[in-house]
Amino acid sequence: MTKFMFRTFASTLAVGVGLLATQAFAKSDITIAMQLEPPHLDPTSAAAQAIDSVVYTNIFEGLTRFMGDGSVVPGLAESWEISDDGMVYTFRLRDGVTFHDGTTMDAEDVKFTLDRATAEDSANAQKALFAGIESVEVVDPLTVKVTLSEPNGNFLFNLAWGDAVIVAPDSIENIKTNPVGTGAYTFGNWVQGDSITLNRNRDYWGDQPTLETATFKFISDPTAAFAAMMAEDVDVFDNFPAPENLPQFDADPRFQVLVGTTEGETILSTNNKQPPFDDILVRQAMAHAIDRQAIIDGAMFGYGTPIGTHFAPHHPAYVDLTGESAYDPEQAKALLAEAGFENGFETTLHLPPPSYARRGGEIVAAQLAEVGITAEIINVEWAQWLESVFRGKDFGLTIVSHTEPMDIGIYARPDYYFQYESTDFQALMDTLNATTDPDERTRLLGEAQRLISTDYVNGYLFQLAKLGVAKAGVQGLWANAPTAAIDLTQISWSE
Amino acid sequence: MSRNLFLGTFLSSLVVLAALISFVWTPYDYSALSIPEKLQPPNVEHWFGTDHFGRDMFSMIMVGARTSIAVALVAVGIGMALGVPLGLTAAARKGSWLDEVIMRGNDLVFAFPSLVIAILITAVFGAGAINAIIAIGIFNIPVFARITRGAALSLWEREFILAARVSGKGAARISVEHILPNVANLLIVQGTIQFSLGILAEAGLSYVGLGAQPPTPSWGRMLADAQTMVSFAPHLALIPGVAIIVTVLGLNLLGDGLRDWLDPRIRVARA
């Protein structure tokens, strides 16, 4: 009996080792974990970042695209010409590009995509990107002429967003569950609540990627994320939710940790229309009451860069304005007294689920308490946050990371949830949009950053870091996140 | 005094004492964050170490005991205040439609998985200590109603009740004057058990974020916060975990001991 058991055991072991060996030699698949599952797979009709993470450049491509370093390069458009007045863009499309269903990608599809995004009833989450488009004209099957109503120096950048990917009229109906694009990977299978599988597109117009299949797995719980990574159930964790665990991965030779930048400005959003926050002195007082480094150390275990305005520090036009709101509780108390709140006041602090908000919020509340402001913490789920804070504007303070790239323009929208209304800023944005000269744009962007910083619109906390964890053999991952994307075409396994 | 009773009293009073002392004194301000001092293991200055925000764990455990006890005590209070009169009424009107309505209503509440419904209540009406108390309290009602009715029913058959009836006392008066004092022992024992279950329920609710909200410390939330840090700072999870164990164990031993001590049948058998 014992002998028999031993034999069974030995043969099982042998088979196991054999399996392991084959796996090690021909590794052409990858399992990538993400924290959030996409609600559906149409990047052109929702703001959810998780959609872009799965489909951007993998399934769908735009006329231009972001690279891992944040640069914008040609995508489906091979080249383009811009008229001297900056109003007309003529795109030359790549020849021989087909959608996954076999139909050809041509100028009609581009026109369809842009018309759909600019339409009255457009469901696009970033309509502002396309707002300047006056008309789209098909010159010939491979040439499209886009006419703008006013010059827009950001236009090529805007077209690189996941919200501007090219879709086909034939497959638009089922795009949410069966996305058909032009990318190097085709949609395979979606097990709701668990994973999405993509397969390599044999007919891809560009270079064939190395990976045969890719599985995106959704693990929302930080503890489960840690366990899955440690057990090597997943190969990559796109943005690891628990920064406190990174030193352990770093010390483990099986893993690599990629710390990079994101476009996420984490801010203490302030309801500028709600008293007492309509008083600039109160907002200034709060800005001085906050110790950014303590928040970064306490909530993010040191990962993150302090910011003094709503702008990414790795961007060339960034101006370091953290000095405008340096940590100084005494000054904060003096300012509060000046505003007539010697004894402080009470407000609410809505915190969505991510740890930067929940942990950061506890620290912010404690720091505000030091100067006499009582912020009642209200933990909310994302759906509730969107409903009551973002749409309902029913909040005093909240902490959230604004992860869209170059989104300082939201301050020109008085109906945006933090309700900052400044004609100066709106005029500045209009000028900026009409300016194409790079130096002048940099100057204007600096001015815009200074304006919202000295108006203390929101509490500017830190730039969210991208914390990737991967097995040691994975190559080609984006360290930074210029946009939400997991570019599979660049990823491969080392020998 | 039995060993159970002694150990139970000792452990329970330890926790109650910690909670009471926390009103006037804690080693440190439980809400004072000190990020540079975070994640210290237990040491001379911080007996239970510090948490991920550099807060003193000993102070947090003391105040957490207060939160746990407050929630569980009020919840048991709700259960007794509503459950006992219901049980007495049902027993006094045995077999009537009122008895049926009360007891079937209790069965209905009993049929629900209590913690799941507690989660539902707090999720719908908002997280917080008050809603947690209500949610836990509701599920204590049928427990006390049943116990009271069962014990009262057998008492109603007794001669001294018959004597009271003959002397012209009404059912309500008999229930209060004669039945209640005779079921009190039972209620105290059950109250102790329910109290320990209430502490567990509070810890469970705050573990999923539906109990007392930060910055009020709560053992369940301390456990939840510690989850991702267990591998490098085990004291974060061990200490609130042990606190919960000690409290629940203490209260259960106390309940057992009290039953042995108070139950006349056992007392007689022993004598």
Backbone angles phi, psi at A410, to 5 degrees: -65, -20
Alpha helices (runs of H) in A275-317, residue ranges in sequence order: 280-289, 292-300
Helices (H), A201-279: 222-230, 246-251
The residues pairing with A216 across neighbouring beta strands, listed in sequence order, are A32, A196
Of A361, A373, A347, A397, the C-alpha closest to A289 is A373
DSSP state for residue B178 in the 8-state scheme:
I
Q: Do B232 and A248 touch (CB under 8 A)?
A: yes
Q: Which residue has the tokens 């510690």?
A: B226
Using DSSP, state whether B179 is helix, strand or coil: helix
Interface test with A, best of B228, B229, B232 (most A CBs within 10 A): B228
pLDDT per residue over B132-147, tens digit each? 888 889 889 999 999 9
Nearest to A467, CA basis, from A229, A213, A157:
A229
Within 8 A by CB and 6+ apart from A171, the residues are A99, A101, A178, A179, A180
- Pick from A454, A350, A445: nearest CA to A405: A445
User: What number is the ipTM of this complex?
Assistant: 0.81
- Residue B215: cis peptide before it, omega within 30 degrees of 0: yes
Query: Which residues, listed in sequence order, are joined to residue A347 by a DSSP beta bridge?
Result: A375
- Predicted TM-score (pTM) above 0.90: no
Q: Spell out a b/e string for B31-54, using b for 16 or more CB atoms within 10 Å of the CB, else e.
A: bebbbebbbbeeeeebebbbbbbb
Characterize the bridge pairing of strands A88-93 and A195-200. Answer: unpaired
Please list the residues that pair with A187 across neighbouring strands.
Answer: A198
pLDDT digits (tens, 9 = 90+) for B60-100: 999 999 999 999 999 999 999 999 999 999 999 988 999 99
Can the peptide bond before residue A276 be classed as cis, meaning omega within 30 degrees of 0?
Answer: yes
Instruction: Spell out the residues 6+ positions from residue B25 whose beta carbon is closer than 8 angstroms to its own.
Output: none
B144: closest CA among B56, B57, B85? B85
Handedness of CA A289, A293, A297, A300 (dihedral sign): positive
CB distance B209–A366 less than 8 Å? no
> How far off is chain B from A249, nearest CA to CA, in Å?
12
CA atoms within 13 A on the CB side of A206: 18
Report the residue of chain B nearest A297, measured CA to CA.
B35
A298 contacts B215? CB cut-off 8 A: no
Domains of chain B: 3-13+54-270 (1.10.3720.10)
Residue of A nearest to B34 (CA): A294
> Contact, A52 vs A237, CB < 8 A?
no
Element (H, E) at B191: helix B180-207
Query: Cβ atoms within 10 A of the Cβ of A83, count?
Result: 13
- Chain A residue numbers with beta carbons less than 8 Å from the beta carbon of B33 are 294, 298, 362-363, 366-367
Q: How far apart are CA A108 and CA A136, in angstroms?
A: 10
What three-state secondary structure class fits A78? strand
Q: Do A298 and B209 touch (CB under 8 A)?
A: no
For every one of its 271 residues, what pLDDT tens digit does chain B have, with 9 covering 90 and above? 688 899 999 999 999 999 999 999 999 998 888 888 889 999 999 999 999 999 999 999 999 999 999 999 999 999 999 999 999 999 999 889 999 999 999 999 888 887 888 888 877 887 788 888 888 898 899 999 999 999 999 999 999 999 998 999 989 999 999 999 999 989 999 999 999 999 999 999 999 888 888 888 999 999 999 988 998 999 999 999 999 999 999 999 999 898 888 876 655 555 4
Is some CB atom of chain A closer than 8 A to the CB atom of B215? yes
Query: Cα-flanking dihedrals φ and ψ of residue A9, to 5°?
Result: -60, -45
Other residues' Cβ atoms within 10 Å of the Cβ of residue B173 = 11
Tokens of A30: 């990858």
Note whether A297 contacts B33, CB cutoff 8 Å. no
What is the rounded CA–CA span in Å between residue A185 and residue A187? 7
Q: Which residues of B touch A366 (CB under 8 A)?
A: 31-33, 53, 215
Query: Which residue in B265, B262, B269, B264 sits closest to B1, CA to CA?
Result: B262
- B182 to chain A, any CB pair closer than 8 A? The answer is no
CA-wise closest residue to A234 among A251, A247, A219: A219
**Structure token pair of residue A350:** 């809505």
- Give the DSSP letter of residue A71: -
Residue B38 and residue A298: Cβ atoms within 8 Å? yes
- The CA angle B61-B63-B65, to the nearest 5 degrees, is 70
Q: How many Å lie between the alpha carbon of B236 and the closest alpha carbon of chain A?
A: 13
Main-chain phi, psi angles of A24, to 5 degrees: -65, -30
Å from A110 to nearest chain B CA? 46
Q: Measuring CA to CA, which residue among A295, A32, A62, A395 is closest to residue B53?
A: A295
User: What is the Cα–Cα distance from A215 to A31, expressed in whole angstroms?
Assistant: 5
Q: Where is B42: in which H helix or E strand? A: none
Contact list, A223 vs chain B (CB under 8 Å): 227-228
DSSP-derived pairing of the beta strands A236-237 and A29-34: parallel
- In this complex, the residue of A244, A245, A366 whose CB is nearest that of residue B215 is A366
Residue A429 · residue A444 · CB < 8 Å: no
pLDDT of residue A76: 95
- Distance between CA A352 and CA B228 in Å, rounded? 18
Residue A150: CA count within 13 A, CB half-sphere: 7
Determine which of B29, B31, B53, B131 to mutate to test the interface with A (most A C-beta atoms within 10 Å). Answer: B53
Q: What is the pLDDT along chain A (495 residues), one digit of tens a residue?
A: 444 444 555 555 554 444 444 444 558 999 999 998 999 999 999 888 899 999 999 999 999 999 988 889 999 999 999 998 888 999 999 999 999 999 999 999 999 999 999 998 888 888 888 888 999 999 999 999 999 988 887 899 999 999 999 999 989 999 999 999 999 999 999 999 999 999 999 999 999 999 999 999 999 889 999 999 999 999 999 999 999 999 999 999 999 999 999 999 999 999 999 989 999 999 999 999 999 999 999 999 999 999 999 999 998 899 999 998 999 999 999 999 999 999 999 999 999 988 899 999 999 999 999 999 999 999 988 888 989 999 999 999 999 999 888 889 899 989 999 999 999 999 999 898 878 788 898 999 999 999 999 999 999 999 999 999 999 999 999 989 888 899 999 999 986
Question: Helix or strand or coil: residue A285?
Answer: helix
Q: Which residue intervals of B56-179 are DSSP H helices?
A: 57-92, 97-111, 114-125, 129-138, 141-156, 159-166, 171-174
Question: Which residues of chain B are within 8 Å of residue A363 when distances are taken between CB atoms?
Answer: 33, 35, 53
